[in-house]
Chain A
Amino acid sequence: METKTAEKSGNERQQLWLDAWFDPVVNLHAFSGGICLAQDKLLVGDLSGALKVFHNGKVQASIRLNAVPSAVCSYAETAASGDGPGPTLVAVACGPSVKIFRNLKPYFKFTVPAAKISQAETDIWNKLSSGSIEVGRACAMLREQSNVSQRSLDLLALETDPDRQQRFLAEELDAAALAEPLPSCITCMGVLPKRDRKDESEGSPCEGTLVLGTESRKILFLDAQSRQVVKTVTLESVPVYIAISGSKDVEYRVVVACRDSRIYSIRNGDLVRNCIEMESPICGGLVRIGRDIIFACVDKTLHSYHVKGRKNWSLSLPEGITNLTAFRCARRGAEGCLVALRSGEVRLYVDKTLMGSIAPPKAGVSVTGMVFGQFSREQDALVSLYTSGAVSVKMLKRTAVLDASKAPEPGPPPEQDIPLAVPKKTKLYVEQTQREREQAVEMHRSFQHGLCKLRYLTASSYLRLFQTAGVANAQLYTSSHHHVGRADDRKPRLNMSVAVLGLGPQFRVTFDIENLAAIPLRGASASLSFDREHFHVDAPFLELPALIPQASQSFHIDLHALVPGTESPPLQLCIVKEPATLLVAEVQMPIVEV
């Protein structure tokens, strides 16, 4: 019943989206930052080191980049005259530089200025180049430095691969190269709009400037022509995700998630003092919705904070989150976020209400990157890339209801509020507890006395088992977890179960023997002792084959009952290995019926 309703609503949710384009073999691999929608084109900075441009479901251009792109953005060039936006530019961050394309042709390249290297680090490199210290020692020393240059980072990153490290050193230890510091890599990139774009037509890229986050823990603001750095903000950790809101002319805020699980924000170029600190690392992305920041952590949680640092809510999801992207549907006034889970499912959350989900194209693939926005004529399109290299474009249905208040109640299912039919504590119980309270000492004493006696009785019964040897591998229970049995693994230990088959006068005693020891047991035999007045047995003695450890073997001995209709004394089945009897089982025979 319950599962049925859940399925039904699941189906309803899936109908939020229409398939626009799906290509399973396009072989695109990129993260969310590397996907960009520019009017009717889809730009993907593929991890193979190429910028691929898709138009109408076909590759329009593929531009080699000679480096792995980390982020792709598109924006409009600020026109020199100042009236209206200029031509659209595409910025691709690869390594330490940003390559800017105009009309899909290389236009300009900006390289991050290299940071000054600290004296201590320079010393280490000098020593390394002169050969006075070896690589391993140098790495250890570099690791102790609080802030090292890109070159040192590269060296440390290659530590697990000594061959490549040696090759890297051979290149870098050149004195000329050493003198020139390496610029640090760009980790994330965003566009800061020049002015508020409320009145402008949707879809066309806005004028803006680039904001870069680098491996040297800096946020760089470039000028309109992307020629030089206007402003530099230094953070305490390396930025990984960046979200920008507002505009340069009025007021702006840049929110940055860093590798130290903190979220910093920069307001009008100044670092705001307070930051949001999470317990587990931030993953998947960072989304600005209105005045809220939404982000995910690796502990399968999704969080929303007010931009000033107050927590709104957090959700615990069933699986790890791989990607997060903003969902803004201006026509319906709905804002939220799309969350991709490790299973490949993509969920749409408006506020904290789950509105719908998209199943992965096939089992076992998950989303590597996704972007929501205007694509060609479709205003609300979702582009997602999968681990299998597939690309999928979905459109939001026009009839989709995205009102969070009309969605089914979030939170625990209504069944949870139905109380369990646990009977109430009766008056009798209360009276009895009253007695317990009043006569606690006497009761305890009496109980301990009884327990003591019963323990004694148990222990003596247990001891009797050893003496009669009726129980296989009887051993004292030690509550310590340390394994006592190992030492005497050479001693044969058997487990046997006996059953009697038949109605009489013919019976068959079958017994399964399992060797519990670690070594095979050879030369054992089974013998059946019985009352000759009652039974006749052709072969009461059975040579057993080698008993292999952990395998149960079955044997049988046939009996012929001589006296019908009476109870007979029990048989004894012994497993013997000279000189000791390993096991004795007593078998009670049923009354002969026929």
Chain B
Amino acid sequence: MASPAFLAMSRFRRRRYEECVDLCSEILAENPYDKAIWLLKTQALTAMTFIDDSDLEELGIADAVMDDNATASMPRPGTSLNGDNASGKGSSLDRVMRPMSNAGRPNSGFVRPSTQNGMRPGTGETPGSRAALESAMRKTGSSRPGTSRPVTALGRHVRLGTASMRAESDGPFIDVSRMDLQKYAHRPTLARALCEFLLYHDHNARKALELAAEATSACNFEDWFWKSRLGKCYYLLGLYRDAEQQFKSSLRTQQSVDTFLDLGKVYLRLDQPQNALDAYAQALEAFPGSTAVLTAKARTYEMMRDGDQSLRAFKDVLRHDPSHVEAIASLGAHYFYSDQPEIALRFYRRLLEITQSTESASGSARSYASTELWNNVALCCFHSGQYDMTMRCFENALASADDSNMADVWFNVGHVGVSLGDLGFAYQCFKVAVSIDPQHVEAYNNLGVLEVRKGNQEDAAADFAQARSAGSFAYEPCFNGALLAYKRGDFPTSLRLAEASRVLFSDHPETLELVEMLRAKLV
């Protein structure tokens, strides 16, 4: 019989955290002052709820709307993540080539928190205005109920913290409010574990900040760990400038990948992508070939809509880690949208192999992201002429789809219907898509086009209007609506919609032509 303490450590190493925590609880019940076991339990609890926070988390409504860090409303090109929609021209992220996500950004190959929702409210809305608030609210309220955005980014952490606390049966393991943090600050090992616990288990940034502040002064401001944790706490509390200072100071003492990534995150929050890229470049000098840094770099380029650079970085990532899911997915998306579906197919098949092998290894019944993956494979097959595989893949996608992505699959099936020339089939698909997701902008837009072909102009106008109200990021419904109004002789409406389309996509040649024509007629 092994010693319980050894067993607990062994379980911790084998990542059987729950068993480890149980065992530790037993030992601690006997001897509450066993510091080693206390440390082990803290670490196990932290590891259980640990999340990879190296990626930019999504922005809460209040963060987005009441943002006072925004500096320039008209940034110079290439210096901001909120650049106008026209940038990315000529690259694979060109608006004409690649559809837009809900957030009004080019669709990325890999869904991350920040690709789901807009970084900040639309450029037309001044932060803090009623319209901006309402649009942000609408996004939470109506677009995808159930997966609403938190009010603030910190709010989500609070929620996570309470959730992890509730999981414990007999009160919280560590009651921070009654703790003497100063005492812990002088015990570096315990303090570190406690700090991580506060950050990743309790999500209590305020207390963690207190502890880190005590600890860093206790070690004469020389420990890089405390400085980087201070930075993290400041970041979570929204004090980006302080966070930047701490991270920089920490990096001067000791360079580490995490700190570089955190620093990059701070710059991205401050809307300074060039600084973030500089930070990543420094990181790559210190840690060449770090996939985490390379991925962060690629993501940043993607957010800046620099498709070519992003592609290069993702290729770099893949060179160092051949089974990096995000890189494979992004490259697949890139090749698909740059008219090489046969190569995209290779990437997606590779992904399918990876997910299926992990699936069989973990024994779970359903692999992650398989709906989207099947859907993408189907589309690649269809466009590269492998027709025999297409329909089977779509069936797989539909079979594994849930409410969140089924509408998109139907939309794509509808597209295949349009390509086949079977408009009745396409019409049904789009109708099914909008019945599942009443906010599916693209499906409404395509329904409108089909209605125009049928000759039902009123229905088409209603569909376009619906598409416009469902999402303010797509220019197609505006342009189509404008064209329809023009054909019906309603020039003022047409001009209004064409102007709206021009705001959304200032380089769309057809829109510009229509606006000019209408101006000549009306003015």
Q: With both chains docked as a complex, state the minimum distance between the C-beta of A487 and any C-beta of chain B, in angstroms.
A: 13
Give the docked Cα–Cα distance between A435 and B388 (Å).
11
Binds A, one of B6-14, B137-145, B240-248: B137-145
Range class of the A interface residue count: 35 or more
A485 & B459 in contact (Cβ 8 Å cutoff): yes
Q: Does B450 sit at the interface, judged by CB under 8 A?
A: yes
Q: With both chains docked as a complex, state the minimum distance between the C-beta of B38 and any C-beta of chain A, in angstroms.
A: 32
Q: With both chains docked as a complex, state the minimum distance between the C-beta of A42 and any C-beta of chain B, in angstroms.
A: 34
Contact of A502 among B141, B434, B466 (CB under 8 A): B141
Q: Does A499 sit at the interface, judged by CB under 8 A?
A: yes
Q: With both chains docked as a complex, state the minimum distance between the C-beta of B117 and any C-beta of chain A, in angstroms.
A: 14
Q: With both chains docked as a complex, state the minimum distance between the C-beta of A464 and any C-beta of chain B, in angstroms.
A: 9
Q: Does A588 sit at the interface, judged by CB under 8 A?
A: yes
A498 & B424 in contact (Cβ 8 Å cutoff): no
Give the docked Cα–Cα distance between A451 and B413 (Å).
10
B146 & A516 in contact (Cβ 8 Å cutoff): no
Q: With both chains docked as a complex, state the minimum distance between the C-beta of A476 and any C-beta of chain B, in angstroms.
A: 8
Give the docked Cα–Cα distance between A190 and B428 (Å).
71
Q: Does A442 sit at the interface, judged by CB under 8 A?
A: yes
Chain B contacts for A541, CB-based, 8 A = none
Q: Does B516 sit at the interface, judged by CB under 8 A?
A: no
Contact of B387 among A444, A587, A588 (CB under 8 A): A444
B434 nearest CB neighbor, chain A only? A471
Contact of A473 among B388, B394, B459 (CB under 8 A): B459
B320-353 contacts to A, CB under 8 A, are 338-340, 342-343, 346
Q: A429-B384, A500-B145 are in contact. Are A495 and B431 (CB under 8 A)?
A: no
Give the docked Cα–Cα distance between A428 and B384 (Å).
10
Chain B contacts for A171, CB-based, 8 A = none
B391 & A447 in contact (Cβ 8 Å cutoff): yes
Residue among B384, B392, B462 having the largest count of chain A Cβ atoms under 10 Å: B462
Give the docked Cα–Cα distance between A362 and B455 (Å).
42
Give the docked Cα–Cα distance between A474 and B447 (Å).
12
Give the docked Cα–Cα distance between A433 and B386 (Å).
9
Q: Does B32 sit at the interface, judged by CB under 8 A?
A: no
Q: Does A164 sit at the interface, judged by CB under 8 A?
A: no
Q: With both chains docked as a complex, state the minimum distance between the C-beta of A570 and any C-beta of chain B, in angstroms.
A: 8
Bitwise interface map of B from 462 to 478 toward A, beta carbon under 8 Å scored 1, else 0? 10011001100000000
Binds B, one of A9-17, A454-462, A526-534: A454-462
Contact of B138 among A435, A478, A499, A589 (CB under 8 A): A499
Q: With both chains docked as a complex, state the minimum distance between the C-beta of B523 and any C-beta of chain A, in angstroms.
A: 11
Residue among A454, A471, A503, A514 having the largest count of chain B Cβ atoms under 10 Å: A454
A446-493 contacts to B, CB under 8 A, are 446-447, 449-451, 453-455, 457-459, 461-462, 465, 470-471, 473-474, 476-479, 481-483, 485
Main secondary structure of the interface of A (DSSP, over half): mixed
Q: With both chains docked as a complex, state the minimum distance between the C-beta of A442 and any C-beta of chain B, in angstroms.
A: 7
Bitwise interface map of A from 27 to 50 toward B, beta carbon under 8 Å scored 1, else 0? 000000000000000000000000
Q: Does A103 sit at the interface, judged by CB under 8 A?
A: no
Q: With both chains docked as a complex, state the minimum distance between the C-beta of B163 and any C-beta of chain A, in angstroms.
A: 10
A507 nearest CB neighbor, chain B only? B141
Q: With both chains docked as a complex, state the minimum distance between the C-beta of A571 and any C-beta of chain B, in angstroms.
A: 11
Chain B contacts for A479, CB-based, 8 A = 423-424, 454
A516 & B431 in contact (Cβ 8 Å cutoff): no
B343 & A426 in contact (Cβ 8 Å cutoff): yes
Give the docked Cα–Cα distance between A471 and B437 (Å).
11
Q: Does B114 sit at the interface, judged by CB under 8 A?
A: no
Q: Does B425 sit at the interface, judged by CB under 8 A?
A: yes
B385 & A433 in contact (Cβ 8 Å cutoff): yes
Q: Does A278 sit at the interface, judged by CB under 8 A?
A: no
Q: A451-B391, A458-B432, A593-B150 are in contact. Are A477 and B424 (CB under 8 A)?
A: yes
Chain A contacts for B346, CB-based, 8 A = 428
Chain B contacts for A474, CB-based, 8 A = 431
Q: With both chains docked as a complex, state the minimum distance between the C-beta of B347 and any C-beta of chain A, in angstroms.
A: 12
B144 nearest CB neighbor, chain A only? A588
Contact of B140 among A421, A429, A590 (CB under 8 A): A590
Q: Does B310 sit at the interface, judged by CB under 8 A?
A: no
Q: With both chains docked as a complex, state the minimum distance between the C-beta of A203 and any C-beta of chain B, in angstroms.
A: 44
Give the docked Cα–Cα distance between A481 and B388 (Å).
32
Q: With both chains docked as a complex, state the minimum distance between the C-beta of A104 and any C-beta of chain B, in angstroms.
A: 45
Give the docked Cα–Cα distance between A296 and B90 (Å).
40
Chain B contacts for A457, CB-based, 8 A = 395, 398
Q: Does A432 sit at the interface, judged by CB under 8 A?
A: yes
Give the docked Cα–Cα distance between A81 and B338 (Å).
85
Q: With both chains docked as a complex, state the minimum distance between the C-beta of A501 and any C-beta of chain B, in angstroms.
A: 6
Give the docked Cα–Cα distance between A449 and B422 (Å).
15
A449 nearest CB neighbor, chain B only? B391
Give the docked Cα–Cα distance between A59 and B465 (Å).
62
Chain B contacts for A498, CB-based, 8 A = 142, 438
B454 & A478 in contact (Cβ 8 Å cutoff): yes
A477 & B428 in contact (Cβ 8 Å cutoff): yes
A593 & B155 in contact (Cβ 8 Å cutoff): yes
A471 & B470 in contact (Cβ 8 Å cutoff): no
Bitwise interface map of A from 413 to 451 toward B, beta carbon under 8 Å scored 1, else 0? 000000001110010110011011000001110110111
Q: Could you write out 26 A-B pairs with CB less than 8 Å apart? A: A423-B338, A423-B340, A428-B342, A432-B385, A436-B386, A443-B388, A447-B387, A447-B391, A451-B391, A453-B391, A453-B395, A461-B410, A465-B435, A471-B435, A477-B450, A485-B459, A500-B141, A500-B142, A501-B138, A501-B141, A514-B462, A514-B465, A585-B438, A591-B148, A593-B148, A593-B150
11 extra A-B contacts, CB within 8 A, seeds A495-B462, A585-B438: A426-B342, A429-B384, A433-B385, A447-B388, A450-B394, A454-B394, A458-B413, A461-B428, A481-B453, A588-B145, A590-B146
